[in-house]
Amino acid sequence: MKIDFQDRIFLLLSEGNDEIKLIKDILKSPLGLASDIIKYLFEERFDKLKDELDEIKQFAAGIKRADNLSQGYPLASYYSYMFAFHQFFHSSYRARQGKVLEKMLQNILREYGKCDRVPNKNQDMLSILKDTFDTDEIQTLDVDAMGVDSLHEKIILIQLRSRDDTGGTTAKGSLVDMLRELLRTKRTPKSDILCLVCIWDPRDSQQKNSTVKKMFSSLKGLIELDESTFSDITSNIIRLKDRISLRVVYGTDEIAKALYEWIADENKDVLRSIFTIVRTIENWDDLWVSYAVASLELESLYLSNKSNIRILNEKCENIEFEFKYNSYNELTRLIDSVVPILLCKWNKNSIPLCLPSDQANYIRDLLFLKACYERIR
């Protein structure tokens, strides 16, 4: 049986080159969340999450009321587990997401940017800028990543935003708060400084003009450029004052190219490595697959008393199937080969998808997650 499976990139199962190691380090926090979800799923420990709900949620979210009704109604029983799981996921993810892009940029600067200093702490960044401007006047700092290339006397200051169509005038103008403070010192820094504002999501690029106008309005009393010249910051690096420049880039391609241009390395392998890291950050499957499957399996378990995890474990044991972790490609081929066998033996109407092709992909995703579980266990 030939089945056209979707590609899957499970970093928890990937080994190999330095780029993969770097990507896993960047995504260490959300990968940790995926690992936790997989363990809750295969060990059926959702009750632990429910037990950890605080008293406020017990009554304000209706948990106690649902528990009181759970004996005679499966939906009421399911509600408290569903709430606890999604509460756990979103609170955990919210705490982890902001650091991923920061760490990605720091690692690119450290590995490929010829930077001898890539500080992680805000206080260290502030100390470097005070020394560069030879002043203690700089008190606040809104920077997500900094790279210092002492040999070539240059510094890059990076600010990240997920998109620029959120927030009003104040939010858009705040993109240059840090730059405004540097300009107010009226000092020429010891190193060339590039302030790079990175907008990760370019979908609403019609906001560009509005964003540039607000940034210019925030800086116009401190620079001698006219608005027309300033507006070119979305296409080129614009020098605002001696040794201080600004650039705004939209989307992952522009971000990668801007970093490569600042690094000023003629080796195209550096650019390819940056693109690989950026693209892989966008293309990995551990978290979304584990979260989606756990959500469906939680519902199936508490509403229908069916567990595809139990069925999968039973079928794999019956055919004496074992994973081999010699390489990711070999593991994928092994999983692909066993899916048709399991599909033919799956004699229960438990998979929450209708089309046979979708059911095959679902069993395959369960196998990948089982491989992850056995690996991390």
The pLDDT-based confidence of 79 (bands split at 50, 70, 90) is very high
Say if 2 falls within a structural domain.
Answer: no
Residue 35 has pLDDT above 80, yes or no: yes
Tokens of 217: 């309005």
Report the alpha-carbon distance of residue 341 to residue 278 in Å, rounded: 37
127 and 158 share a domain?
A: yes
Q: Convert the pLDDT of each residue in 102-117 to its tens digit.
A: 888 898 899 888 999 9
69 and 162 share a domain?
A: no
DSSP conformation letters of 190-248: SSEEEEEEEES--TTGGGHHHHHHHHHHHHTTT----HHHHGGGGTS-EEEETTEEEEE
* Residue (of 308, 297, 298) closest to 81 by Cα position: 298
Residue 166 has pLDDT above 70, yes or no: no
Give the pLDDT confidence score for residue 334 in this predicted structure: 96
Say if 69 falls within a structural domain.
Answer: yes
The pLDDT-based confidence of 55 (bands split at 50, 70, 90) is confident
296 and 353 share a domain?
A: yes
Say if 270 falls within a structural domain.
Answer: no
Q: Is 205 exposed, middle or buried (0-12, 13-18, 19+ CB in 10 A)?
A: middle
219 and 150 share a domain?
A: yes
148 and 250 share a domain?
A: yes
The pLDDT-based confidence of 276 (bands split at 50, 70, 90) is confident
Q: Convert the pLDDT of each residue in 309-348 to its tens digit.
A: 999 999 999 999 999 999 999 999 999 999 999 999 999 9
82 and 20 share a domain?
A: yes
184 and 65 share a domain?
A: no
Say if 185 falls within a structural domain.
Answer: yes
Say if 224 falls within a structural domain.
Answer: yes
Residue 170 has pLDDT above 50, yes or no: no
Say if 245 falls within a structural domain.
Answer: yes
Please state the rounded mean pLDDT for residues 31-52: 93
Say if 107 falls within a structural domain.
Answer: no
121 and 244 share a domain?
A: yes
CA angle centred on 164, ends 261 and 243, rounded to 5°: 40
User: pTM value?
Assistant: 0.80
93 and 123 share a domain?
A: no
Residue ranges making up the domain that contains 209: 114-264
86 and 147 share a domain?
A: no
157 and 241 share a domain?
A: yes
Residue 289 has pLDDT above 60, yes or no: yes
How many domains in the chain? Answer: 2
Q: Which residues contact 316 (CB under 8 A, 6 or more apart)?
A: 342, 370
Rounded to the nearest integer, the mean pLDDT of the chain is 89
Give the pLDDT confidence score for residue 358 in this predicted structure: 94
Residues of the chain with pLDDT > 70, as a percent, come to 95
Say if 241 falls within a structural domain.
Answer: yes
Q: Which of 215, 233, 264 lies at the terminal end of a domain, its last residue? A: 264
Q: Which of 233, 264, 295 lies at the terminal end of a domain, its last residue? A: 264
124 and 92 share a domain?
A: no
Q: Which of 264, 296, 323 lies at the terminal end of a domain, its last residue? A: 264
Task: Report the chain's terminal Cα–Cα distance, integer Å.
Answer: 32
